[in-house]
Chain A
């Protein structure tokens, strides 16, 4: 561990908020063009970030009516970014549920080779029946089953990478990234996750999560320093605090109401129709997180906010701003740097997966003003020391995960 922060930028289409695509002086459909991704990646490289990250899923989310969404397959995007950059890491989300492990291992290994050892794979199990129906299923597989498959799938892919003789990885093998906050997800992360994305609103809980994962890694015979934990962080920057607050309020105003309600309903697993805006959501509607379907991580975050703050429905919608539950920090670059420093020194994070409020302008502000502040404080690199993603993250190549997968054919969840 270098005593320095690790920072990715999540190029999440138009930005983290439901209203981001409508922000003034923003091309609302920029995220439907390839140049959006390549230009932000170049900016991120100039700012010496560890990596760019692409969230993704193999389906069209119905919320597209009111909000932009994923629309370009990540390996083709990152292959292009690889051709136009030299050092910055390239992390893509690809599903363990809906890919063939042989094909995926080959394609990702090839991308890693071609990029000079800069690739990381964010393993997700892909929630929801919509994606399931693109692959012949009528509904999504059970949560536990998705994760059992994911565990075997990852071990099979990593073993294939380790066995490559043609097109070897300049970084040993690609980095494994994982982002589930459910019990199953934490188990998987402890076992094989080298970078773990998390969604934490509270500094103490974040530290507890980090401790839990490091302990879990130790139990699986891994060095706990070989997990880098990066909570999501959305920044709303202004040259004064008042300006930043105004920016946040404008983003709230721009949030399409229908989108926000649809998204929250999706995360909670029930419709909001008929619920009063000026009252809290009735407690009896809220299941325990481990029993929730869909994405337990985001359900958990929302439920924590509800338990902690007892907001009215309207207040809850505003707090989330359609942003899915990542922490939102509003202020000047100095104020946000203070917050980042506090979390880092408290042991709540090894760095952050930054999701800018608006893309590209919010990331421009981040790169132009916040990164230099972090560099000034000695918290962030001023130059790349190495050339691979492992170099940037300070990670050695871990032992191969124990062979669960060779017990039998991979279980393709029906």
Chain B
């Protein structure tokens, strides 16, 4: 049975060198090599990290858009925190990137604090409730991503109509943390909408994840029982299990000693046992480590891909807003 494979990548400052058993950033030039190799090996998507080892990486939306300018045919997940980011800007930026890749983008929305622009207009600017903020934020993103449907863009030169006005609608969101009128200025994604990934289960909890995410990342220690918890949470939220991808995340170290074959078998057993829908590899050892993972491990994993990121993750194309 085939499984989509994701690879973590931090595009950043690699001058300090890499350690074989540590996840390290790779330089922009190395990231280009990695992306090309990943695409060739059938990796479903790269997850572009905001930080690595406590140090900032290149802004993931910039790094992703740059890499996608060289390599289409692979998915990109960009980490974006709620902190310092007004939701309208993120909705627009992520959807623009997604449209440029014909539907291969998702956002790993990290819970956090607010932003300076939004804080000026809400009743409770210092409220620290990251889970509630995250949920509201995810809702705004998905509502904005459906506010300008693809078929609203008609381009009728004869009648001088660019759009069918009636199909484009403001969202008029008024929440505890944000007020956003919308709509966006460009049409929805080819894949329905970009994928929303929850990667902070510890902070968010299953209820928030089940309400608002298209995919959830669990590490090795959390994965047993995750499928059950996710299923229960989705039932509570009135959603179906097949509408959310359960991604198991694990560090991999490919050195002289560790055989790719052994690792591949272990991963396959893990996927099977914990009913994972996808696997996210965190290769240690800088560019050499990640290339080794891509070139020797991934080809042994029956990696699957699809024409869009949703399809790659086994998710149906959908535009309907979450929660």
User: In the complex, how many angstroms separate the beta carbon of B92 from the nearest chain A beta carbon?
Assistant: 5
Q: Digitize B166-200: 1 where CB-to-A-CB distance is under 8 Å, 0 elsewhere.
A: 00100000000011111111110000000000000
Is there a chain B Cβ closer than 8 Å to A351's Cβ? no
A34 and B99 contacting across the interface, CB-CB below 8 Å? yes
Decide if A219 is an interface residue (CB 8 Å cutoff).
Answer: no
| Chain A, range 72-101, C-beta contacts under 8 Å to B | 72-73, 75-77, 79-84, 97-101
Stretch at the interface among B154-162, B231-239, B279-287: B154-162
The complex places the Cα of A65 from the Cα of B63 at a distance, in Å, of: 34
Residues 101-126 of chain A, each 1 if its beta carbon lies under 8 Å from chain B, else 0 = 11100110011011000000000000
Contact with B along A38-54 (1 / 0, CB 8 A): 10000000000000000
In the bound complex, residues from chain B placing their C-beta under 8 Å from that of A133 are 179-181
A34-B100, A66-B161, A167-B13 known; A71 vs B185 contact (CB < 8 Å): yes
**Given A28-B157, A60-B185, A410-B116; A98-B86 close (CB under 8 Å):** yes
What residues of A have a CB within 8 angstroms of the CB of B58 in the complex?
110, 113-114, 167
**From residue 22 to 40 of chain A, which have CB atoms closer than 8 A to chain B?**
22, 28-29, 32, 34, 38
Is the CB of A21 closer than 8 A to any CB of chain B?
yes
B84 and A59 form a contact (CB under 8 A): no
Bound complex: CA A414 to CA B123 (Å): 12
Closest to A83 in B: B69
**Is B296 in contact with chain A by the CB < 8 A criterion?**
no
Residues of A within 8 A of B93 (CB): 73, 75-76
Total contacts A-B at CB 8 Å = 171
A58 to B92, CA, bound (A): 8
A64 surroundings in chain B (CB, below 8 A): 162-163, 185
Interface centre among A22, A29, A79, A256 (most CB of B within 10 A): A79
A60 lies within 8 A of B84 (CB): no
Q: Which residue of B lies closest to A153 (CB)?
A: B116
Total A residues in contact with B, Cβ cutoff 8 Å: 58
B255 proximity list for chain A (CB < 8 A): none
Select B66's contact among A66, A67, A83, beta carbons within 8 Å.
A83
Which of A73, A107, A137, A258 is the one whose CB lies under 8 Å from B92?
Answer: A73
**How far in angstroms is the closest Cβ of chain B from A321?**
14
A353 contacts B by Cβ under 8 Å:
no
0/1 string, B79-120, CB within 8 A of A gives 1: 000001110110011001101100000000000000111111
CB under 8 Å from chain B, chain A span 266-322: none
Given the known interface contacts A166-B56, A412-B119, the answer about A103 and B185 at a Cβ–Cβ threshold of 8 Å is no
Contact B118 A29 (CB under 8 A): no
Interface contact B153-A32, CB-CB below 8 Å: yes
Tell whether, in the assembled complex, residue B120 and residue A412 are in contact, meaning their CB atoms are under 8 Å apart: yes
Beyond A58-B89, A107-B59, A167-B13, 13 additional pairs, beta carbon < 8 A: A21-B157, A60-B168, A60-B183, A61-B185, A65-B165, A72-B100, A76-B93, A99-B89, A111-B62, A114-B28, A134-B180, A412-B117, A414-B121
